[in-house]
Structure 1
Amino acid sequence: MLGLTSVCVFLFSALALAINSGYSLGALVLLLASSWLLWKRPRLNLQRRDYLLLSTLLLYFFVYTANMLYHADPTRELDMPLRALLAVPVLLLLLAYPPRPEAWWSGLAIGAISGAALAFWQFLVLDIYRPQAATSNAIHYGNVSMLLGMLALCGLGWAREQSFRLAWSLLLLAGGLSGILGSFISGSRSGWLVLPVCGCLFAYYYSKGRGTRHLAALLGALLAACILAYTLPNSRVPQRVAVAVNDIKQFQDSDNVTTSVGQRMEMWRTAWTLSSNHIWLGMGRDGYLAAKQQMADEGKMDKIIKHYTNAHNDYLDALVKRGIIGVLALLALFLVPLAMFARALRRSAPATQPYALAGVVLCTCYMIFGLTTSSLTLNIGIIMLVFPMVILWAMLRQQERIA
């Protein structure tokens, strides 16, 4: 079983961006393998922290589901929160049979490299303006590519303790650089916002007696990625930044909602307005769409955004559809694991800290992604949050046991 969980964890990240729905393969096999727990019944020795993480995942699922039933929304709305429920048996499986660290770190690096290679081929050979690798959306490809790159860079502290530390360090640096470049080439600006925040996290972590060489190498990789992004032939990065600045100016000056940024701001304004009358339980999906249609008919909202099914912001989308209770469940999904990983980062043994750092980076990235897009309304978004979360927690707990 240890070999199976290791292979699944490797495939989960390695295939995430290289093949269509590749992230689902490892997750599905892990879920099926969790049925082994019913027959074998291994001793899990769960701690209070484990129950807290399990409760957070269950809370998100039940709040989302109860709200869906209350508003009589379509049953397909259950599809996304169901992933949080399915992560529960996977966490129990991984606590009983933790995967090998090599499987996790190598999967991250290979996933970022393969995704970036496919995106560059689409960009240079197929002349696709905004590559999306094997995903269905350039925004979510860019965000996941950035996420894999940031997580790969978290493994440098683990790499320096290995027998082949130079090879592992180079692989993880290549994965980090590829993930960043993949995000840049996708033109997905929401992913770029995490760079300064994660850069500060890395600088804080690696500057506290954990190896200035690794800090220098990491910051060098971030700087090289930014330089490459601006100097590549026909780079989209300067164009996308200039377009964003111009869109904001047009919205401020003339309330122009025909641009990408203008549409987002109109969606945010509409969601905020509608939520004021349904503050506790929200309106549900169907209620939100019906209210938008009514506002468009009355001329209170630009019709250009009426067909969007989400608010392009995780927090506002939760507020308008599920109210304050839904926002609190969403914040719990982000902040409770973040606090648990941050506590381990401060207090745990050195062997556990790369996993704690990766957990902090994972939650931080998703909190930032959610500011400009609805990350958790698509399969790739919710899966790439909850499954890495339980994988990292199980591996952190394993390192605590053997430290």
Structure 2
Amino acid sequence: MLGLTSVCVFLFSALALAVNSGYSLGALVLLLASGSLLWKLPSLALQRRDYLLITVLLAYFLIFTTNMLYHGDPAREFDMPLRSLLAVPVLLLLLAYPPRPTFWWAGLSVGAIAGAAYALMQFVPDSLIRPQAATSNPIHYGNVSMLLGILALCGLDWARTQAYRYAWSSLLLAGCLAGIVGSVISGSRGGWLALPVCLIIMAVHHAKNHGRRHLAITLSLLFALLGLAYVMPHSPVQQRVATVISELEKYKNDGDVTTSVGQRLVMWDTATELVKEHLWLGMGRTGYLQQKKVMLAEGKISKLVSDYTNAHSDYLDVLVKRGITGVLALLALLLLPLVLFARTSHRGPAGARPFALAGMLLCTCYMIFGLTTSSLTLNIGIIMLVFPMVILWAMLRQQERTA
């Protein structure tokens, strides 16, 4: 079983971007394998922290599902919160049969490199067509690519303790750079916001564990990466930054809603306006879309905006559809695991810290992604949050047990 969980963990990340629904393959096999717990009955020795993580995953599922039933939302809406429920038996399986770390770190790097290669084949400088993954649009491709790159960078501390540390370090650095390159050429601006924040967290983490010189090294790397991404020939970063400024001016001066920025601002204003009358429980997906049709008929919003099924922000989308109770469930899903991982990064054994750091940055990335897009309304978005979360937690707990 250890071999199976290790291979599945590798495939989960390695196939995430370059293969159609590749992220689902490893997750599905892990879910099916978790059925073996019913007759093998391994000793799990669960701690209070494990129960807390399980509780927040179940609470997210129950609160969202109850809200959807209350509002009579379409059956396909239940598919997203269901992923947090399905992550629970996978967590129990991985706690019983923790995967080998080599498979996890290798999968991250291979996935980032394969995803960047797939996108580079589509990349045309100065083109309006943005590269994307096999199963997602450019926004979510760019976010997941950046996520894989950042998580790969967390493995450098682990690589230093391995027999082939230079080979592992090179592979992880290649995965990090590939993930960033994939994000840059996708033109997905929301993912770029995560990079400086995560590098600063990483710098503080290494400064506490290895000395202040690591803070200076990481910050220098941050500014070098940002500068290089901006000044490189045909830089998508430079072009997309210029586009943001131009579109903001058009919206401010002319009320132009034909641009990406203009449409986002209108969607955010619309969600903010609608939520006032349905503060606690929201209005559900059905109610949200019906009210947008009413506003379109009244001439309050453009046809370009009324066709979107979400508010282009996880926080506003949940607030308008699920109310304050839904927002609290979302924040718990992001913040409680963040706190659990952070405690281990400060107090845990050295072997567990790379996994704790990766868990912290996973939650941080999704908190930032959710500012400008609705990641958790898509399959790739919710799966790439809850399944890496339980994988990292299981490997962290294994390192604690063997320390």
Mapped to 2, the partners of 1:10 and 1:219 lie a distance apart of 30
Structure-2 change in CA distance of 1:378 and 1:344 (3 Å): same
Residue 177 of structure 1 deviates from its aligned partner by 0.8
Query: Is 2:378 the partner of 1:378?
Result: yes
For structure 1, the 5+ residue unaligned runs are: none
Q: Contact conserved, 2:247 with 2:262, CA < 8 A, in 1? A: yes
- How many correspondences in the alignment? 403
Corresponding residue of 2:5: 5
Q: Which range moved further: 232-241 or 204-213?
A: 204-213
Q: Contact conserved, 1:180 with 1:225, CA < 8 A, in 2? A: no
The residue matched to 1:371 in structure 2 has which SS? helix
User: Counterpart amino acid of 1:18?
Assistant: A
Q: Contact conserved, 1:122 with 1:128, CA < 8 A, in 2? A: no
Corresponding residue of 1:103: 103
Corresponding residue of 2:290: 290
Mapped to 2, the partners of 1:49 and 1:183 lie a distance apart of 34
Mapped to 1, the partners of 2:344 and 2:33 lie a distance apart of 28
**Deviation beyond 6 Å, 4+ runs, structure 1:** 211-217
Corresponding residue of 2:234: 234
Mapped to 2, the partners of 1:156 and 1:128 lie a distance apart of 36
Residue 122 of structure 1 deviates from its aligned partner by 1.2
Corresponding residue of 1:187: 187
Mapped to 2, the partners of 1:5 and 1:289 lie a distance apart of 41
User: Counterpart amino acid of 1:29?
Assistant: V
Q: Contact conserved, 1:275 with 1:320, CA < 8 A, in 2? A: yes
Q: Contact conserved, 2:284 with 2:322, CA < 8 A, in 1? A: yes
Residue 209 of structure 1 deviates from its aligned partner by 4.2
Q: Contact conserved, 1:181 with 1:225, CA < 8 A, in 2? A: no
Mapped to 1, the partners of 2:53 and 2:131 lie a distance apart of 35
Mapped to 2, the partners of 1:323 and 1:209 lie a distance apart of 41
Residue 335 of structure 1 deviates from its aligned partner by 0.6
Identity of aligned pairs, percent? 69
Corresponding residue of 1:28: 28
Mapped to 2, the partners of 1:46 and 1:79 lie a distance apart of 28
Residue 217 of structure 1 deviates from its aligned partner by 6.9
Query: Is 2:182 the partner of 1:200?
Result: no
Mapped to 1, the partners of 2:178 and 2:217 lie a distance apart of 15
Q: Which range moved further: 215-224 or 77-86?
A: 215-224
Structure-2 change in CA distance of 1:373 and 1:336 (3 Å): same
Corresponding residue of 2:329: 329
Residue 221 of structure 1 deviates from its aligned partner by 5.6
User: Counterpart amino acid of 2:310?
Assistant: N
For structure 2, the 5+ residue unaligned runs are: none
Tell me the TM-score normalized by structure 2: 0.96
Residue 229 of structure 1 deviates from its aligned partner by 2.9
User: Counterpart amino acid of 1:173?
Assistant: L
Corresponding residue of 1:387: 387
Mapped to 2, the partners of 1:146 and 1:373 lie a distance apart of 15
Q: Contact conserved, 2:136 with 2:380, CA < 8 A, in 1? A: no
Structure-2 change in CA distance of 1:214 and 1:5 (3 Å): farther
Give the alignment of 1:281-320 within 5 angstroms.
Answer: 281-320=281-320
User: Counterpart amino acid of 1:39?
Assistant: W
Mapped to 2, the partners of 1:167 and 1:228 lie a distance apart of 25
The residue matched to 1:353 in structure 2 has which SS? helix
Query: Is 2:80 the partner of 1:86?
Result: no
User: Counterpart amino acid of 1:105?
Assistant: W
Residue 332 of structure 1 deviates from its aligned partner by 0.5
Mapped to 2, the partners of 1:54 and 1:393 lie a distance apart of 11
